[in-house]
């Protein structure tokens, strides 16, 4: 059992010291453009280094600001980059730590998934994974005290991911899918591909989104299936790429922020 999952990419993807990290997130949130008229049930947010995807992630999280006090639990579904796996991995940790402090894991929420075939406790899936970790400081800054259900999604069917979301969705719960969009294309090609993927997300056509369109394709497909079932609508909050945020437009990575209402 892992008592505390310590950060793997602090100092690499985001500042390692709490004052600098808070200042960075405050700066990103202050310039975000994701304000919404209703509280989202779920978000899709990107997961690169904050200097690249941070402005777009802030657009996603800024949509929560008026309702932050209503959210007591976050379910974060992130794709597996470091460990190949089938299904969905849970963690044995009692808490996840960032420079901003520790977040308690909702063990009851994790245990509620134990009967689903394809959901397994695999701590190794979290050890070096950045896609989940980089969401946590945003959530800590926004929500204050909350509990976490951390999930790493490998090659998993949309039905399984949707079952997980359905079991955990409550009025006090936010669902976050962590995903970037297309990778390492020239700037015009990235824009074209990401606009096409965004159209598929907005129309809930997850079956037509592939791994080269979004690295979080498997959790995205499951979230879109849940959205179909529940009648949720999707709003695109931001759509940019690393060429827009860093200035280097030679080989870029796409980032999108989406809210589900």
Chain mean pLDDT for the chain: 96
pLDDT classification of 42: cutoffs 50, 70, 90: very high
Q: In sequence order, what are the residues at sequence separation of 6 or more whose Cβ sits closer than 8 angstroms to the Cβ of residue 190?
A: 181, 182, 241, 243, 252, 253, 254
Q: Read off the pLDDT of each residue in 86-106 and give the average, rounded to a whole number.
A: 98
pLDDT in tens, 226-261: 999 999 999 999 999 999 999 999 899 999 999 999
- DSSP-based three-state secondary structure for 222: helix
Report the candidate in 130, 122, 115 with the shortest Cα–Cα distance to residue 49. 130
Report the candidate in 170, 136, 171, 167 with the shortest Cα–Cα distance to residue 150. 136
**pTM, to two decimals:** 0.97
User: What residue has token string 């909702």?
Assistant: 106
238 neighbors 59 (Cβ within 8 angstroms): yes
pLDDT number for residue 34: 61
Query: Residue 176 belongs to what H/E stretch?
Result: strand 173-178
Q: How far is CA 256 from CA 3, 28, 116, 246, 260, in A?
A: 33, 15, 30, 15, 13
State how far the Cα of 61 lies from the Cα of 237, in Å rounded to an integer. 10
Total residues belonging to the chain: 261
Per cent of the chain over pLDDT 90 is 97
Query: Residue 178 belongs to what H/E stretch?
Result: strand 173-178
State how far the Cα of 163 lies from the Cα of 199, in Å rounded to an integer. 24
Residue 35 has pLDDT above 90, yes or no: no
pLDDT in tens, 149-172: 999 999 999 999 999 999 999 999
Residue 33 has pLDDT above 80, yes or no: no
CA angle (129 as vertex; 201, 250 as ends), nearest 5: 60
150 neighbors 90 (Cβ within 8 angstroms): yes
241 neighbors 255 (Cβ within 8 angstroms): yes
In the chain, the domains with their CATH numbers are 4-260 (3.40.830.10)
Residue 1 has pLDDT above 80, yes or no: no
41 neighbors 260 (Cβ within 8 angstroms): yes
pLDDT in tens, 43-80: 999 999 999 999 999 999 999 999 999 999 999 999 99
154 neighbors 87 (Cβ within 8 angstroms): yes
């Amino acid at each position: 059992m892992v008592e505390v999952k310590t950060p793997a990419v602090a100092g690499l993807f985001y500042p390692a010291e709490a004052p600098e990290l808070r200042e960075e997130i405050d700066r990103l949130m202050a310039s975000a453009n994701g304000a919404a008229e209703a509280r989202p049930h779920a978000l899709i947010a990107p997961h690169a280094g904050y200097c690249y995807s941070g402005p777009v992630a802030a657009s996603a999280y800024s949509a929560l600001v008026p309702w932050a006090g209503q959210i007591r639990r976050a379910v974060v579904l992130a794709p597996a980059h470091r460990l190949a796996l089938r299904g969905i991995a849970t963690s044995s940790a009692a808490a996840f730590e960032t420079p901003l402090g520790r977040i308690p894991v909702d063990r009851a929420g994790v245990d509620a998934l134990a009967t689903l075939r394809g959901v397994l406790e695999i701590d190794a899936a979290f050890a070096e994974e950045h896609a989940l970790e980089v969401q946590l400081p945003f959530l800590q800054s926004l929500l204050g005290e909350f509990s976490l259900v951390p999930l790493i999604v490998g090659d998993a069917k949309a039905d399984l991911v949707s079952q997980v979301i359905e079991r955990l969705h409550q009025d006090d719960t936010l669902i976050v899918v962590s995903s970037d969009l297309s990778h390492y294309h020239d700037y015009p090609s990235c824009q074209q591909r990401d606009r096409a993927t965004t159209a598929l997300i907005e129309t809930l056509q997850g079956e037509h989104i592939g791994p080269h369109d979004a690295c979080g394709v498997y959790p995205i497909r499951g979230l879109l299936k849940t959205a179909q079932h529940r009648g949720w609508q999707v709003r695109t909050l931001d759509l940019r790429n690393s060429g827009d945020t860093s200035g280097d437009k030679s080989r870029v990575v796409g980032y999108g922020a989406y809210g589900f209402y």
